[in-house]
Amino acid sequence: MHCATSCIVIGISVVLIAEGEENLELFSVLDGILKPYTFNELKSRKIDFSSKILNIEELKAAMLKNLFFSVKKDCGEMIDEKI
pLDDT tens digits along 55-70: 888 988 999 999 999 9
Same-domain check for residues 44 and 22:
yes
Q: What is the pLDDT of residue 33?
A: 87
Q: Look up the pTM and report it.
A: 0.62
Same-domain check for residues 61 and 31:
no
CA proximity to 22, closest of 43, 32, 36: 36
Residue 75 sits at φ, ψ, to 5 deg, of -85, 5
Asked if pLDDT for residue 53 goes beyond 80, the answer is no
66, with CB counted inside 10 A (0-12, 13-18, 19+), is exposed
Same-domain check for residues 44 and 23:
yes
Same-domain check for residues 77 and 63:
yes
> What is the C-alpha to C-alpha distance for residues 70 and 1, in angstroms, rounded to an integer?
24
Range of the domain at 43: 2-52
Q: What is the pLDDT of residue 19?
A: 85
The residues pairing with 50 across neighbouring beta strands, listed in sequence order, are none
Q: Which residue has the higher pLDDT, 82 or 32?
A: 32
Same-domain check for residues 48 and 11:
yes
Same-domain check for residues 24 and 39:
yes
Mean pLDDT computed over 41-45: 91
Q: What is the pLDDT of residue 51?
A: 64
